[in-house]
Structure 1
């Protein structure tokens, strides 16, 4: 059966202005694009970066643009390969993560498009929240369901072009590495208060209008988008004990993250299904654990976490034992609308 489209999804490269990650994700990305994407002559190709592609967190708008330019200059081979993909007609999609939420700002997104596809900027699309391909897949980074990273009003900056992004609690802690514990705790307290206030504004009329506008781009109705926006919520009383537990375990070199699909993924997929927008695949990232599994309560949707291309690999997949192995998801869409695919692992050492 002939193929109508192929979607390749990867995440958590954490590209920065330095190339000090031992796995060198920027260099590997260039080779992956050349050998897998550009070598594929079939039409209908899409490459999706499911968040935390770049390290831009906590930067002002102009600083974000400058940092983005510096990162792409640091990885000229990856830059050229991405530009070659766009020139060939491959659609490039960037879903915002908690480390590169600044891509949601229109000026930063426009600069990314200009750098990668100056002739056809529309070849590069940025999604502040999630990507929806009707009946095929949804892809979101996943931090919106993690209270310590959640940005309730992420659409406000993306739609209005304003500089209204506040740091979530965990980012606020890391944004003051040289400060005293007291000053860092104060930053976290202020971030918690800002998050609580933002959660209330998500339910007001003004933000409802932003959700309605976003629903048009997502090809979903307004009620579905509203319900998705309210699936998770930041609450200080529950977030702080989780943060404390994570810090204690991290100090001991341990983690509480599960090897199963998160409950939020099931809620997301079931909400889509309830509104008549069920998809075959739910793709997420954020945890750095590559995983494919069933979704509890939603048998029609398959869950994939695309893991990480950075050295901060977690979980028990082959990328843990072989650091020259890189996870990604592939979803093929046939002409009759049926899909196939799953979690894949790629190595630059393979023939």
Structure 2
């Protein structure tokens, strides 16, 4: 990557066909883009949406396309701001999350590019799994390290264009909100079995070929990519108790809190270092807990970009001040020096 670049990363906006969330993530994003990106067009700008940007889960291809257009039409200020960013040469990157995994479908990714950058669709890129910038950062949504949301074969959709995605256990639970407890438990059990089968397929030669294709796209060592893909694994014996715990906590309005990087973070950094591809930053999302921390025995630092929705977790400034919106900024100056960290944007601070 050429020097003089700036990467801005946000996540978990959960934009849908309305603006009912009290934090109004869509409206706030438009202001953020105007003041943070369009007002400063110095270095090459990259705006990264690190998963769960849209509510597209559990839809068919046709439904996903229609929902995507509906969401953007419901947030016209954000849509126009994104178009303005691409018109000024900023690159827009969308990493798939568990709520918008449908972005991995080539047809949906292509439509997103057309909608946000009609003059030059190449300025909009969709990353089904990882965003890798050599020496600088590795970013992913993070749900693939969470058994309840893990989709082992996400590349099968992205590369082969298939319209088949196994429903992870927690998504199966949410897909039947009005069913009886017995029916919901049955749906989760079936999803667990499907995830076990998907894990076995993801360790076979046919999926290795997809991983090699992805390694070429990422320009990252093939063995490293394979190790990253197999770093986490779904196991029913551990996933079912976690699902039950999640259901109990949700019924009482509680969440599991944590103030440390996920266990996978240090392992990701270690894999990259072992394959001589270290990065300054490993960035993920998914937990809705904004966090910046060091990783034991690694020069790589960790950032979680939190959420712009009202479902804020953890003990960060955005918990106390609902007008504080977390984002990561990583800058590479003309000499190749990398700086950055977790920041909070406030719409009332100029």
2: CA distance, partners of 1:256 / 1:53: 22
Task: Name the structure 2 match of 1:313.
Answer: 312
Query: Conserved in 2, the CA contact under 8 Å of 1:149 and 1:168?
Result: yes
Q: For 1:232 and 1:199, locate their aligned partners in 2 and report how far apart those are by CA, in whole Å.
A: 10
Distance 2:346 2:6 in 1: 19
Structure 1 runs of 4+ aligned residues shifted over 6 Å read none
Aligned partner of 1:177 in structure 2 is 177
3-state SS of the aligned residue for 2:237?
Answer: helix
Alignment of 1:146-165 (within 5 A): 146-165=146-165
Q: For structure 2, which runs of at least 5 residues remain unmatched after alignment?
A: none
> Given that residues 3 and 332 in structure 1 are in contact (C-alpha distance below 8 angstroms), is that contact kept between their aligned partners in structure 2?
no
Match of 1:134 in 2: 134
Farther off after superposition, 107-116 or 172-181: 172-181
Q: Distance in 1 between matches of 2:114 and 2:3?
A: 30
Report the RMSD for the aligned CA atoms in angstroms.
1.1
Equivalent residue, structure 1, for 2:189: 189
Q: Cα offset for 1:101?
A: 0.3
Q: How many matched pairs? A: 349
Question: TM-score, structure 2 length as denominator?
Answer: 0.98
SS class of match (1:194):
helix
Indicate if the aligned counterparts of 2:172 and 2:191 stay in contact, CA closer than 8 A.
yes
Structure 2 residue 323 is the aligned partner of structure 1 residue 329: no
Alignment of 1:199-348 (within 5 A): 199-298=199-298, 300-348=299-347
State the TM-score, normalizing by the size of structure 1: 0.98
* Aligned counterparts of 2:108 and 2:305: Cα–Cα separation in 1: 25
In structure 1, how many angstroms separate the alpha carbons of the residues matched to 2:220 and 2:52? 25
> Aligned with 1:280: secondary structure?
strand
Q: Is the 8 A contact 1:289 1:306 kept in 2?
A: yes
Structure 2 distance, partners of 1:315, 1:105, is: 33
Say whether the 8 Å CA contact 1:96–1:104 is kept in structure 2. yes
Kindly state the Cα deviation for residue 349 of structure 1 after the two structures are TM-superposed: 0.4
Report the Cα distance in structure 1 between the residues aligned to 2:204 and 2:257, rounded to whole angstroms.
Answer: 33
Shift of 1:3: 6.3
After TM superposition, give the deviation of residue 176 of structure 1 in Å: 1.1
Match of residue 91 from structure 2: 91
SS in 1 for 2:39: coil
Aligned to 1:124: 124
Q: What does 1:27-66 correspond to in 2, within 5 Å?
A: 27-66=27-66
Which stretch shows the higher mean deviation, 48-57 or 247-256? Answer: 247-256
Structure 1 unaligned regions, length at least 5? none
Alpha-carbon separation, structure 2, partners of 1:342 and 1:41: 20
Offset from partner CA, 1:39-71 (integer Å, 9 cap, x none) = 012131000000000000000111001000000
CA distance in 2, matches of 1:233, 1:41: 42
